Structure formats: C-alpha cells, structure tokens
Amino acid sequence: MNSMDVEVIRSAMDWMNRGHRVVLGTVVRTWGSSPRPPGSLMIIRDDGQVAGSLSGGCIEDDLIERVKRGELASRLPQTTTYGVTADEAQRFGLPCGGTVQIVLEPLSAGSLLRELLAAIESHRVVRRRLEMATGLVSLSPSEDGDTLRFDGQVLETVHGPRLRLLLIGAGQLSRYLASMAVMLDYRVTVCDPREEYHEGWEAIEGVTLSRLMPDDLVIAMNLDPHSAVVALTHDPKLDDLALMEALKTPAFYVGALGSRRNNEARRQRLLQFDVSAAEVARLRGPVGLNLGARTPPEIAMSVVAEMTAVRRGAVLGGALADWSGSETACRVST
C-alpha cells in the first residue's frame, strides 16, 4: 500500500469522526486499458468530497453523484461496473474500451480502519477480508504471494508495508534521489556517519537521516522485499559495509554508483568477505539506466527509473541496460 492509500485511510477516519457518511471504493477488476490498477482506493463523503482515485477522473463524477443520492452502498457493500459497452466507455472516457469493476463499501467502526492503519505503520502486511452480504470485516496476517481477490461474495485486499529506500551517503545526488523517491511513495532513510554532510536534511519531508555506520543500519532496518538500497559515497569504507549486508537480504534492489571498472573492483572486494558469488551477482552497478545522464538530477532519475522497472518486473535489455563504452555521468562520476 502506498502513501496515497494511507492518506485515504486517514482522511476516511477523520471524516467519520466528524460525523460524515463515507463510502470506500476499491478497484477489483479491469478489462482492456484502465487508468488505475486493481487495488486502487477512493473515498467519497456524503457531501461529495473525495480522496484518492479509481480511474484518474473518468468515472469519479458519476460515482460521487450516485453516492450522494444514496443509490450506491447506502447500507451494505455493492459492486458497480463502468465501461461494459463501447457507448459507456466513450461516455466515461475510459480508453480503448476499458472496463472497471468497483466494490463500494459504507464505512463504520466495524470497518477496522484504525487497526488497519496501525498494522501498516508497524510495517506489517495484512489481509483485509470484506463479506459483501453482511459488510463484516476481518484482518489477518498476509502470506507471501497474497494478492487482491474478489469472487463476488468476498473481497480480500492486501495492505502494507510501504516501500523503503536506504541511501548510503548524504551528498548532493542523494538529495535529488531522496526527493524523487518520496514522490514515488518510498519512505527514505539516508545513512551517513560523516557530520559534514548532515546540514539541511531535516528540511526534506519524508526523509530520515541516520548517523549509524551503514552495516549496523542495514541490519537494524531488517530489509524486506519492499526495500531498496543504493550506495552513493564512492568510499569503500561506507559503501562496501552497506553492500556486504544488503546483498544478503531480500531487498528487491541493491545498487552502487560508479564506473564499470570501479564496480568490478567492488565485486572482487565483496567476494573476499562473507558474500557469495550469487549475492554479488545481485549488485546493480553502474547503478541506474543508461539514459545519457550527466547532471545529479538526471542521474537520480535514471536510478529511480531502474528501481521502478525492477520492482514492476520489466525486462531490462538493449541500450538502456548496456553500460559498455558509455561516457555518461553515472559511469564516470567516481
């Protein structure tokens, strides 16, 4: 669950505390081209205020009016579908004949939003089960591989934890990378024991600065498959310490800045320590896609682009993944 969805839950709780009727909409199935994937959330207040999005603006106006009139989910959860016909898809602006199926749920104290939010903020992954016939909600620990499920009778959704990014080094590039990652819903931690790099980090919202040694912090963070690590200092005493521990974790992305030559030397150093060849092979270096980046913001963009591609399971190849012969900043900024 990303930070936008967390804010949806918080807004729903706030509105309910102020006495409003609130309906939660969840995308449960899409056909064809759809602007928002299954699991997307939106809440609709009784006066028409909304938070979140189900279609990027295509169907929201119609949903708001129907909820305000009490036509949908007035007492129990209800399913509605948009874009069944070509005429309806055109009317609501759904691209390429896309179809969106939505579960609308009237929220109450029994919706367990407070408990759900507490679990997410504790970095636990939970499964939320909604019975359509009764509106009964239950929460349980999620198992690996759990995804959204809807059979018409029961809706199961999986929530938390938020993505995490650990940056080793608090230099200029880290500032750009941290800011971009926050916009992509990462909770960012910047690790740098060097006091001279600490100025100004407290002003960047969504970023935590750690003064611990990198290897100690990696162990303390207990990195999971929702985590990424990027080493940026060019100082083996810091970068290698972090990578030695990070490559042993299930973090989905571990990368290091530097040229091809420097990264090959880094791999050889790591093999001399308690790091296996398979673990070293996970290291992405030079870090980022080969976009021809030269400035710190461009390099940061190339890194978050590669992180996104890896997280989404994209197949990386061709010129974007080929650093041979490259003279871009990602390669030569050592």
Question: Rounded to whole angstroms, how far apart are CA atoms 46 and 183?
Answer: 30
Final residue before a domain boundary, out of 159, 191, 225: 159
Predicted confidence (pLDDT) per residue in 231-242, tens digit = 999 899 999 999
Domain shared by 153 and 168, yes or no:
no
What is the rounded distance in angstroms from the CA atom of residue 49 to the CA atom of residue 68? 10
DSSP-derived letter for residue 204 is S
Structure token digits, residue 328: 């871009």
Question: Same domain, yes or no, for 62 and 181?
Answer: no
* Domain end point (choices 159, 183, 202): 159
192 with 257, same domain: the answer is: yes
Dig out the tokens for 8 from the structure: 């949806």
Q: Taking the CB of residue 114, how many other CB atoms lie within 10 A of it? A: 11
**Structure confidence by residue, pLDDT tens digits, 278-334:** 999 999 989 999 888 889 999 999 999 999 999 888 877 666 666 565 544 444 343
Domains: count for the chain: 2
**153 and 189 together in one domain:** no
267 & 118 share domain: no
pLDDT at 33: 60
Q: Which stretch of 169-178, 268-277, 313-322 has the lowest confidence by average pLDDT?
A: 313-322
Q: Is the domain of 267 the same as that of 307?
A: yes
Average pLDDT over residues 156-183: 91
Q: Do 154 and 170 share a domain, yes or no?
A: no
Which range of residues forms the domain containing residue 177?
A: 163-332
pLDDT value of residue 334: 34
pLDDT at 275: 93
Same domain, 37 and 184: no
Position 21 pLDDT exceeds 90: yes
What is the predicted pLDDT for the residue at 332?
38
Mean pLDDT of 124-132: 93
Q: How much is the mean pLDDT over the chain?
A: 87
